[in-house]
Structure 1
């Protein structure tokens, strides 16, 4: 009944993942390759969490 008020963890993770990718893109365009690689690694961690949750949902 109240399931519509629960937040979707996948939606939150996807939003965070997309934000990290965009942040990494801006760092790369600015020439800061170290920051780009650090942010990309963080985004990959989020992506593995997303994949794990999707696999558990199936």
Structure 2
């Protein structure tokens, strides 16, 4: 109940964004390959940010 209003961490937000971009890329790959590649590239950038945050926390 109390976790309902808890703000998500930056890492959690990036993970959600990465997951969303990967899904969009997959859906676009069925119809428009160039757009799918752009979404995959965006997802890769988000993934790099996630890895950087993980390294920073250590």
TM-score by length of 2: 0.85
Equivalent position of 1:21 in the other structure = 22
- CA offsets 1:6-56 (integer angstroms, 9 cap, x no match): 430000000000000000000002x20000100000000000000000000
TM-score by length of 1: 0.85
Instruction: State the number of aligned residues.
Output: 53
Gaps of 5+ in 2: 1-5
Structure 2: how far apart are the matches of 1:18 and 1:47?
10
Aligned-residue CA RMSD in angstroms? 1.0
Gaps of 5+ in 1: none
